[in-house]
């Protein structure tokens, strides 16, 4: 779900995969090595639904959530990943959707504020 001019916009995986995709090769605290993640830029997703706001709240299946400034999304190519190393991610493997920051490319993102925003098992996104 995404906050937008319409109250709720729902995407299924096929709809997400129709959007232009990006690849990020990076390390995380939860993976070995530097996997390649594939997904949609969060800015592209927000543009697609014409969402407007200062922040997004990303919530996981277990109700963990993190707020991310839209300015951060505009500054860095942060994706909503749906594949890792060419494979769809199962719930057991942090999927089906995982917010991925390009930490390897932008070391300044490797700080608790951003690392804690790499929500996995994403269930909803609200713009506010």
User: pTM of this prediction?
Assistant: 0.93
- Segments forming the whole domain that contains residue 65: 13-127
Structural domain total, the chain: 1
Cα(85)–Cα(56) distance, integer angstroms: 27
44-82: pLDDT as tens digits: 999 999 999 999 999 999 999 999 999 999 999 999 999
- Whether residue 101 is contained in a domain is answered as yes
Q: Residue 108 maps to which CATH number?
A: 3.90.420.10
Cα(23)–Cα(16) distance, integer angstroms: 14
- Whether residue 4 is contained in a domain is answered as no
Per the structure block, which two tokens stand in for 23?
A: 């690849």
27 Cβ partners below 8 Å, 6+ apart? 33, 34, 103, 104
């Amino acid at each position: 779900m995404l906050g937008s001019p319409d109250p709720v916009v729902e995407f299924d995986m096929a709809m997400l995969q129709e959007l232009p995709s990006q690849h990020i090769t990076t390390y995380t605290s939860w993976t070995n090595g530097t996997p390649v993640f594939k997904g949609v830029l969060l800015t592209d997703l927000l543009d697609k639904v014409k969402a407007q706001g200062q922040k997004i709240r990303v919530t996981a299946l277990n109700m963990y959530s993190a707020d991310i400034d839209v300015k951060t999304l505009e500054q860095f190519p942060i994706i909503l990943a749906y594949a890792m190393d060419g494979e769809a991610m199962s719930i057991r493997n942090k999927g089906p959707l995982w917010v991925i920051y390009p930490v390897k490319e932008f070391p300044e993102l490797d700080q608790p504020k951003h690392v804690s925003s790499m929500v996995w098992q994403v269930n909803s996104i609200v713009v506010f």
